[in-house]
Amino acid sequence: MELLNKRYKLGRVLGQGAMGRVHLAQDVTTNQQVAIKECFAQNNDELIERIKREYELMKSMDHPGVVKAIDFLHFDNKYFIVMEFIEGITLHELIQRGRRTVKFVKQLEIAIKICEAVYFLNKNGIIHRDLKPQNIILDANYNPKILDLGIAKLENVDHSITQTGNIIGTPTYMSPEQIDGKSATNSDVFSTAVILYQFFSWAKQSPFHGHGAISSMTNVVEKKLPPINLKLAYKNYEVRLGKTFAKSMRKDHEKRSKTVENMLTAFKDTLKAIKRKEIINKVITTVGSTLVTGLFILLWVLRGSFMVDNDSPLPNTHFEDGNTFFSQQKYSEAITEYRKAINLGEKSGEIFYNIGLCYSSLEKYQKSIKYYTEALRYWRGEVWENPYSASGHFQRARAYVLTKQFEKALKDLNKTLEILHKMKAFGDLGSANQVKKTAKEIDEELAAAYFLRGVLHYENQKNTATIQDLKKAITLNPSLKKQASEILEKARANLKK
């Protein structure tokens, strides 16, 4: 087969549109696969100018989120742009596959990289003007790259092919000012927000999609979108993301976010919050069930030693039913049974603590805080302070962290460590009726408390305190080393800056 420019061996067609077709090709000099865009210029000086400018822009852009041009060919009245080849799918294709394709965390990572690429283009004076899911390709690891700078515009540079009055872009994703034949420095902000709103909604079409181009453009100018609707597990992040999208999709470009930086920050903060939550949950799982359900198990087996006397068997029955539901992870049903026991007069720190655990498991942390607080109120009056109140303080600290009440969390963790250290020093603080904890169990609880406090110090950018607490946690429980290593590495790096 004849080589293009004696270098490129053309293969299958990857795609085709009104302005050209893209071939997969082999660069015989480097033995690398490339993509070659064959442009349909048809002796049109305006189109030829656009093709040349697209190559120059792609050639000058050096960013991992923007496809880079390699070569430009012109012969036999044909024009070709040689680009790096990305093996993957477009964002459009990913969205069509549906909600279960990637997790919310991966969506955030993709959105962050898209915003970083758009920010890079805009910062370098380039307005893409045709951002859409079809123009974003994802590699095998879901790293996005922006394609097609064919109608991109350099800020403050007047080109005959981009003069005011021409509608340029894709109707369902273009900004309102583009419909008027104009473009603003933040036109790409609007388009990016529309793309990501669709992506997080898993909608098959743009939220402004109409029955035709005129209908779609009318929607862009007039339609107000409802707040973003996320999966139940991520409802807590809807308000922040909703406000961010609203600012980025304001119809008046002068009132719209000036850059995609507002979205970028929101996505990064959301991702950071989710990962912080994952770290906290992971450490609790890693150290075993002692701190999360250890008290629950003890109360289930030995509740006769703890519960208040009551002539009626009904409270006990409801408590046991609640325990059964808890063990089956039917937390709402467990709460119902525990409340029945309370209504029948059975009130104690233990039952309130168990309700707190149920609400924590349902990720209703504000409610869990209320019940942990009630449990601690009951325990506080006991001799030497009930040793299991350490678990109450720890669980409330965890809930405080997950609701970003960091100062309160720190106080509870300090109290947890104080009680546990007393227990370790005196062998046990329990009465004769209570089960004594082994040294290993106390060390595991201390390790969990130090680890969580270390994570909290890291979030507060107290790197030295982070390192100290995580080291203590690892010493007490070496199994935490793997999880602590990433945070330790980051904390040490921060100290060197």
Question: How far apart are the C-alpha atoms of 419 and 8, rounded to whole Å?
Answer: 73
Residue 321 known to be catalytic:
no
**Whether 81 contacts 55, CB under 8 Å:** yes
Residue 480 per-residue DSSP state: G
Q: Is 211 helix (H, G, I), strand (E, B) or coil?
A: coil
Phi, psi of 78 (to 5 degrees): -120, 150
Q: What is the dihedral sign for C-alpha 336, 340, 343, 346?
A: negative
DSSP label at 66? B
Evaluate whether 380 touches 389 at the Cβ level (below 8 Å): yes
Cβ atoms of residues 128 and 188 within 8 Å: yes
User: Is 497 annotated for ligand binding?
Assistant: no
Contact between 356 and 372 under an 8 Å Cβ cutoff? The reply is yes
Sign of CA dihedral 316, 318, 324, 326: negative
User: Choosing from 71, 76, 130, 469, which is the catalytic residue?
Assistant: 130
Of 391, 423, 429, 395, the closest CA to residue 409 belongs to 395
CA 240 to the chain's CA centroid: 12
Q: Which residues are annotated as a binding site for ATP?
A: 37
Indicate which residues carry an active-site annotation. 130
Q: Which residues are annotated as a binding site?
A: 37
